[in-house]
A = this chain, B = another copy of it.
Amino acid sequence: MGDLEIRAATADDLPAIVAMLADDPLGAQRESPDDLTPYRTALARLAADPNQHLVVAVREGRVIGTLQLTIIPGLSHRGATRALIEAVRIHADERGSGLGSKLIEWAIDTSRQLGCRMVQLTSDKTRTDAHRFYERLGFTASHEGFKLRL
């Protein structure tokens, strides 16, 4: 296996990223890999925001993972900045390879370098394997995660 690179996502990575978002029990119902237009618009917005870090994991030129890290300043916890992890996806061929841990560890290291005091994420209650994965990486399921669709 070649070296793993974790770098900022570009427009050229969109087909591979969206394919990963769609190749998922929950994502299959809500993504449109045949029409990348809404994703291109969103990527431009992410690229313009210095608090957004949308990255891909690449090995031998192939996009095999993705994650979005958002840096969120705030007043609570004595003015602590926190980081939010969203949209973690690993290519089906790479699951169980340790790549997920490497991506999350990248997110934790980057959050620390950017002065964050906390990293947080939510995971659908049906994703019980993911819950064990995050607990192994040191996260605590201390909160209820509430969502409201508009």
Task: Identify the A interface with B (CB < 8 A).
Answer: 14, 17-18, 21, 27, 30-32, 38-43, 45-46, 49, 51-52, 54, 68, 70, 72-81, 84, 86-87, 108, 111-112, 116-125, 131, 134-135, 137-150
Contact = CB atoms under 8 A, between A and B. Distances in A.
B140 A146 contact: yes
A46 B74 contact: yes
Nearest to A70: B72
**Copies per complex of this chain:** 2
Contacts of A70: 70, 72
A143 B120 contact: no
21 contacts: A21-B75, A30-B77, A31-B78, A42-B73, A43-B75, A43-B79, A46-B74, A52-B73, A54-B75, A72-B86, A75-B87, A108-B148, A112-B150, A117-B150, A118-B149, A120-B148, A121-B146, A125-B142, A140-B146, A140-B148, A143-B144
Chain A interface SS verdict (over half): mixed
A146 B108 CA distance: 13
A41 B140 contact: no
Contact of A147 (B41, B76, B119, B147): B119
A100 to B, nearest CB: 14
B142 A39 contact: no
A81 to B, nearest CB: 7
